[in-house]
Structure 1
Amino acid sequence: MNSLHDFPITHKWPATHPERLQLYSLATPNGVKVSIMLEEIGLPYEAHKVDFGKNDQVSPEFLSLSPNNKIPAILDPHGPGGQPLALFESGAILVYLAEKTGRLLPKDAAARYQTLQWVMFQMGGVGPMFGQLGFFHKFAGKDYDDKRPRDRYVAESARLLGVLDKHLAGKSWVMGDEYTIADIAIFPWIRNLIGFYGAGELVQFERFTQVQRVLDAFVARPAVQRGLQIPA
């Protein structure tokens, strides 16, 4: 495929600026990871809303780009070798954008892998656990009389917060003084846990003072403020 028009997704969401990176997303914790990243690095992009209310995520066009029917996904007209690149999974997209631009991922090999381990900490732990807690606390799960599933995710979410809280002691960011994709991966989920999910009291979030401190610094960043609103 040599042009964006060759990708079926552009038939449902036509590109007004085909020379820019195309973002297909929604303002969820996973979705805003990529919009925040794009705002931080200043890479020109065009955002398209994948409307869950209209089942856009299971449309043939979206599935052609993201076969797991999850947002976000991107289509970069200037991928490796100058060819368009289609990519899904937020963690993979963060790594790709960091390597494409040389931003927010340490050059030093050891620090690079340490950053990636914290991205995986979010992808494999924080995201799934917080998401399940949100389901059982805020959404349909709250109607179950058996609270053992909810309590299991409460306990594991609190444990993960404890791991992060201990790690952040004496550090400005997850990787110390350097702001990286690890912060962009993790903190939208923490913001969502205590905000949208309203689970702060359940996990006793007030105990995690280091996490709160760095979350406040994260949310105060202008690029984060912009990225949290995309797509509108």
Structure 2
Amino acid sequence: MTDLSAFPIAQRWPALHPERLQLYSLPTPNGMKVSIMLEEIGLPYEPHLVDITKNESWTPEFLSLNPNGKIPAIIDPNGPGGQPLALFESGAILIYLAEKTGKLLSADPATRYQTIQWLMFQMGGVGPMFGQLGFFHKFAGAAFEDKRPRDRYAAESKRLLGVLETRLAERTWIMGDDFSIADVSMLGWVKTLRDFYGAADLVGWDDLKAVPAWLGRGFARPAVLKGSGIPARPA
């Protein structure tokens, strides 16, 4: 039987199925990347809810897995060489899972790097900018009288959506005919920007055509729809 006792996080979130990949997460735009990926590739996993509203990601047990204190993070009991592997950062996890299973990342070198390029576009641009817009539009920043921070992030988010709109103008998915980790990384962020942050008007959503169509196709995939709600949020 797989032994995860060397990982302090397993003491706070015990594994009922230690032989499966362990996911520590919450279905935020970053968290759902990994649960969607796991559903898409069909790799058995056990999800553990890390309630960031209760600062559970800053507990010693979670910090032992991710010293940056952010979800998601994983432990793969069947990592390289058959040894357990702990990993954080959603983009790194997507690449790892794709290479582990040979799914959602092309084996062709040029296409592989182009896919990773769009994943980095999400990691370095879409995620940070959309997240800041959400803060200044929906959360504590909404009370700021000075709207310049919100407007700055709205303008940059609109620009990034324009880049995505151009990319998807004649493509089904970001990489063409094949659904990939680039799509997995962005679907949750784009949906959150529109629906949860309520920022559609700020970013000119109604002027877009390709991006809304792509979002609809993405969330019509059973694995995307299921993965976007795992682990279930606290009641």
TM-score (norm 2): 0.97
Structure 2 counterpart of 1:19: 19
Structure 1 runs not aligned, ≥5 long: none
Q: Secondary structure at the match of 1:4?
A: coil
Structure 1 counterpart of 2:107: 107
Q: Distance in 1 between matches of 2:41 and 2:18?
A: 19
Q: Distance in 2 between matches of 1:9 and 1:117?
A: 32
Q: Secondary structure at the match of 1:22?
A: strand
Q: How does 1:94-133 map to 2 (within 5 A)?
A: 94-133=94-133
Structure 2 counterpart of 1:217: 217
Structure 2 runs not aligned, ≥5 long: none
- Output the aligned Cα RMSD: 0.8
Question: Aligned-pair distance for 1:3?
Answer: 3.3
Q: How does 1:147-186 map to 2 (within 5 A)?
A: 147-186=147-186
Q: Which runs of 4+ in 1 moved over 3 A?
A: none
TM-score (norm 1): 0.98
Q: Report whether the alignment pairs 1:5 with 2:5.
A: yes
Question: Aligned-pair distance for 1:36?
Answer: 0.3
State the AA in 2 paired with 1:28.
T
State the AA in 1 paired with 2:156.
E
Q: Report whether the alignment pairs 1:56 with 2:56.
A: yes
Deviations 1:117-167 (A, max 9, x none): 000000000000000000000000011110000000000000000011011
Deviations 1:24-79 (A, max 9, x none): 00010000000000000000000000012321110000000011000000000000
Question: Aligned-pair distance for 1:184?
Answer: 0.2
Identity over aligned pairs, percent: 67
Number of residue equivalences: 231
Q: How does 1:190-209 map to 2 (within 5 A)?
A: 190-209=190-209
- 8 Å contact kept, 1:3–1:84: no
State the AA in 2 paired with 1:230.
I
Q: How does 1:23-102 map to 2 (within 5 A)?
A: 23-102=23-102
Q: Distance in 1 between matches of 2:84 and 2:148?
A: 47
Q: Distance in 1 between matches of 2:202 and 2:158?
A: 9
Q: Secondary structure at the match of 1:86?
A: strand
Q: Secondary structure at the match of 1:29?
A: coil
